[in-house]
Chain A
C-alpha cells in the first residue's frame, strides 16, 4: 500500500524553541494532508487540514500561529511547533490523501515530541 513517512520519529527540544516535523507521501501525490495530535491514552485529534498550495484550515482551539503548516508540494507537508512548551509534548501524526486516484487516506508512523 501507499507509504507516508515522518521525520523525525522522535524529538526532544527545550522550552521556547521551535521544532519542525516533516511528512512525506512516498509513492503518490497528496493533494490534501492532515495533522493529528494524540495525548497519552487519548484518541487522535485533528489539528488542521492542508491542501497543496493553500493555507491550512485549523480546527477550533488550535492556534495557527503556534502550529505552522506548510504544504508547498504534492509530496511534502511540514508542521512547525513554534515556541514549544511542555504542554505541547505529544504524539503528532500526519496523514495524506491520494486525491488523484484512490482518494484513500494514509497515515504516517508519528513523531513523538518531548519539550523539556
Chain B
C-alpha cells in the first residue's frame, strides 16, 4: 500500500473548520484513501474513505485531488471533542493486507 505524509500537528479554533491535509503521491488506481482518528486511550475510530470522488458523511468531508496524489479531511465545525490524532491511510480494500498507521496529525481544537 502507498505511504502517506501528514503534518505532525495542527491547531484549530472551536467552531471553525479543520482542514487536515494528506499527501499520497504514490497511490495506485485501486487504492482507497481512509481516515481514522484516535482519541486518547481509545481505539481508532473510522471517519470516512473514498476512491476518487469527494465524499461527505455526518462526521466529515473528504476532498481528493483530481490526480489523487493528495487529499484533505474537513471537519466543518470543530468541537473540543474533535481533539485527537488523525490518520490518513491508503489501502486496497479487496485483499487481506493489513492497515498500517503512520504518525498522523495531532489536531488540537482550542476554545
Residues of A bordering B, CB below 8 Å: 1, 4, 6, 31-32, 34, 36, 43-46, 49, 51, 91, 93, 95, 97, 99, 103-110, 112
Contacts and interface: CB of A to CB of B under 8 A. Distances in A.
B102 interface: yes
B43 A43 contact: no
Contact of B41 (A6, A32, A112): A112
B101 A43 contact: yes
B99 A34 contact: yes
Query: Chain B binding site: helix, strand, loop or mixed by DSSP?
Result: loop
Interface of B: 36, 38, 41-46, 85, 87, 93-94, 96, 98-104
Contacts of B46: 1, 104, 106-107
B88 to A, nearest CB: 12
11 contacts: A6-B43, A36-B101, A43-B101, A93-B44, A97-B96, A103-B93, A104-B93, A106-B46, A107-B36, A109-B42, A110-B42
A43 B104 contact: yes
Contacts of B101: 36, 43-45
Contacts, number: 47
B97 to A, nearest CB: 9
Contacts of A31: 96
A32 B44 contact: no
Nearest to A105: B99
B84 to A, nearest CB: 13
A74 B98 CA distance: 17
B96 A43 contact: no
B96 A44 contact: no
Given A6-B43, A32-B96, A107-B44, 12 more contacts: A4-B43, A44-B38, A45-B101, A49-B96, A93-B44, A97-B96, A103-B94, A104-B93, A107-B46, A109-B42, A110-B41, A110-B42
Nearest to A51: B96
